[in-house]
Amino acid sequence: MLKNRLLVAAVGIPIGLAAIILGGYFVFGLVLVITVLGLHEYYTLLRPYRPNLLIGYLAGIAVISGAFFLGFKGIMGGLAACLVLMFFWSLFGEFGAHLVGRMAITTFGIVWVAMGFAYLILLRGLHHGMALTILVFACTWLSDTFAYFVGRAIGRHKMAPRISPKKSVEGAIGGIVGAVVAALIVKIYSPWLPVRDALVLGLVIGIIGQWGDLFESAVKRDFRVKDSGRILPGHGGILDRFDSMLFAGMVAYWGAVLLLGNIVQSTVK
């Protein structure tokens, strides 16, 4: 198990870093592929509820493309267009039992998965976006690492036993510390980033990232599955690996805009 996890990390981290450093269509292409795979995992879990797969995938592609070409307005525009299309498709093409439920399930996948990943594109598009995107990945991954080892070493108090029995309060605190440490490391190589703002971003990402992890665990618990998929040996699926990122990227984007203001907004669309 550990060998597989390290192998995936050895391959995935350089690819991710290369895309973040190169930016542009490299980030767009990688995020688009990850989004489609994540939506596939989500809709596979909910297949018994018959989500509208065509609309779901088209919407995911539209939201990611909108984020890349038009920024935040593109996300909202792509989402709105696909929701209207789904409404007419469902009303005139697939009217039947559980119509509202199917529309809600399809829409939730778009909002959770596609919009979550789209914020990584928005984050990379900011001025100093490369450093900010690396900061998010570093914070979430180091948070996961600290939480795992601290939890194994001294974890005694269960944090959410009904959702994820192995997670402890001590591990969660260790995860927050790990995120803050990662943010400070990135700050060393980012002289434009104030120490206070790095601490705030690390703290918030450390908290929100773990909420994202718990949320995905709750979804899997609801469907009584261990992993969302099997595409990443030792990790499970795309959602298992990037669950923290779906919330952390969104919070980091708005946190950077609010905290750093004109320092990062010169390229916001």
pLDDT in tens, 190-214: 999 999 999 999 999 999 999 999 9
The pLDDT tens digits of the residues spanning 57-114 come to 999 999 999 999 999 889 988 888 888 887 777 777 655 667 788 888 999 999 999 9
Nearest to 203 by CA among 239, 168, 248: 248
Nearest to 225 by CA among 2, 41, 49, 53: 41
129 contacts: CB under 8 Å, gap ≥ 6: 23, 123, 264, 267
3-state secondary structure of 81: helix
Q: To the nearest 10°, the Cα dihedral for 176, 215, 72, 199? A: -10
Averaged confidence pLDDT in the chain: 87
CA 188/CA 181 separation, integer angstroms: 11
Q: What is residue 269's predicted lDDT score, i.e. its pLDDT?
A: 45
In this structure, which amino acid lies at residue 102? R
The pLDDT tens digits of the residues spanning 21-49 come to 999 999 999 999 999 999 999 999 888 88
E strand spans, 79-233 = 158-160, 164-168
Q: What is residue 248's predicted lDDT score, i.e. its pLDDT?
A: 93
CA 41/CA 47 separation, integer angstroms: 10
